[in-house]
Amino acid sequence: MPTISQKGASMPESPIRKLVPYAENAYKLGKTVYHLNIGQPDIKTPQLALDAVKIHSLDILAYTRSEGSEGYRKKIAHYYAKNDIHVSHDDIIVTTGGSEALLFAFGSIMDVDDEVIIPEPFYANYNGFSTASGVKVVPVISKIEDNFALPPIEEFEKLITSKTKAILICNPGNPTGYLYSKEEIKKLAAIVKKHDLFLIADEVYREFVYDGAKHYSILQEKELDDYAIVIDSVSKRYSMCGARIGCLVSKNKDVIKTALKFAQARLSPPTLAQIASEAALETPQSYFDDVIEEYQERRNVLIEELSKIEGVQVGTPKGAFYCIAQLPIKNSDAFAQWLLESFDINGETIMVAPAAGFYSSAGVGLNQIRIAYVLNTNSLKKAVHILKEALKVYKD
């Protein structure tokens, strides 16, 4: 009998999606499930993006250029300029979501068995992308006690070997909500220049920063032109997860030239989704002002309610719409499954994401969960109440 590949066997399951069958069974039993497990915003997609698809005048749904349509890329460059990020449309390759952008980046700068250093916890699919690319993740642990701040640069330098090709950060962070300061970005810039590495920044949550803070992009560091690669996406910014449009941005011409070959191999990004994404770039600032105000209120409610639960420790997010909570349990995988299978309050329960899948270090994060605060404040309060009552009766 034929066998699957070692790579396939090694691909990790999504800690976010692997519990879906248990949630579906809960639905069949008539339960209401509050989804704290996945970063699917409940914010309405800008109407102008939806209308652009409805009123298009295309007679043939044809390929676009492999790097994305020129008109769309020029508008992306204009969007960046408004954020004090100055790039040309030729520095941009449109991709099928931010996921493909990261795969293109890995393929362009790393060979099999090369290494990428990532502060953990990190977006769970980084493990999958690295496995698919034959690349080894080397974690440097950030701690909940420090609110997941950038680990000391000395910790990075201890991990650099002849196989190290890049440092990868998510800013603001998924799953921690941590926002890297300008000073921290400059520290990373210094280390990648010193050791001749790439610095990859996943900046898909750029707009979502709170408490008057400002996002600082690695592309704003002028001396990083040859080192910086940004991963971006419309998914969260415009609540357009289903559009599957992202981009890779770099001023390094060799990176763009190489990534384009990967883009050519998959022909082109989706045409209609590019039309919607181009229209979304006209979204007024008032949309983001309202969204950020809403998410900041949700964050405040969530952290306040979680802090009331005995034995729970939680970091305070500075951006994105996630937080990591440490619970007085041994194994959050078992706890998350138990919540869906065996616990409810008046027919209501919650779905959370076990945090161990957001680490690559074995045995770390077993008692943590990631919470996405993409529900309204009333639903968040109900969800945290369910969590509080569940912890009172749960036995490891």
pLDDT in tens, 329-375: 999 999 999 999 999 999 999 999 999 999 999 999 999 999 999 99
Tell me: do 140 and 225 sit in the same domain: yes
Tell me: do 112 and 192 sit in the same domain: yes
Cβ contacts of 300 within 8 Å, gap of 6 or more: none
Tell me: do 40 and 51 sit in the same domain: no
Tell me: do 275 and 290 sit in the same domain: no
| pLDDT at residue 15 in the model | 74
Tell me: do 11 and 32 sit in the same domain: yes
Our count of domains for the chain comes to 2
| pLDDT at residue 396 in the model | 85
Tell me: do 294 and 192 sit in the same domain: no
Among 280, 299, 327, identify where a domain stops: 280
Asked if residue 227 lies in contact with residue 192, where contact means CB atoms within 8 angstroms, the answer is yes
Q: Checking DSSP bridges between strand 115-120 and strand 136-141, what pairing results, if any? A: parallel
- CATH number of residue 320's parent domain: 3.90.1150.10
Q: In this structure, is residue 329 part of a structural domain?
A: yes
Tell me: do 28 and 60 sit in the same domain: no
Tell me: do 240 and 271 sit in the same domain: yes
- CATH number of residue 251's parent domain: 3.40.640.10
Among 280, 302, 320, identify where a domain stops: 280
Q: In this structure, is residue 1 part of a structural domain?
A: no
Among 229, 261, 280, identify where a domain stops: 280
Q: In this structure, is residue 122 part of a structural domain?
A: yes
Tell me: do 31 and 53 sit in the same domain: no
Residues of the chain short of pLDDT 50, as ranges, are none
Tell me: do 21 and 134 sit in the same domain: no
Q: In this structure, is residue 114 part of a structural domain?
A: yes
Tell me: do 133 and 215 sit in the same domain: yes
Q: Domain containing 224: what range?
A: 47-280
Tell me: do 11 and 69 sit in the same domain: no
Q: Which of 117, 209, 200 is nearest to 156 (CA)?
A: 117
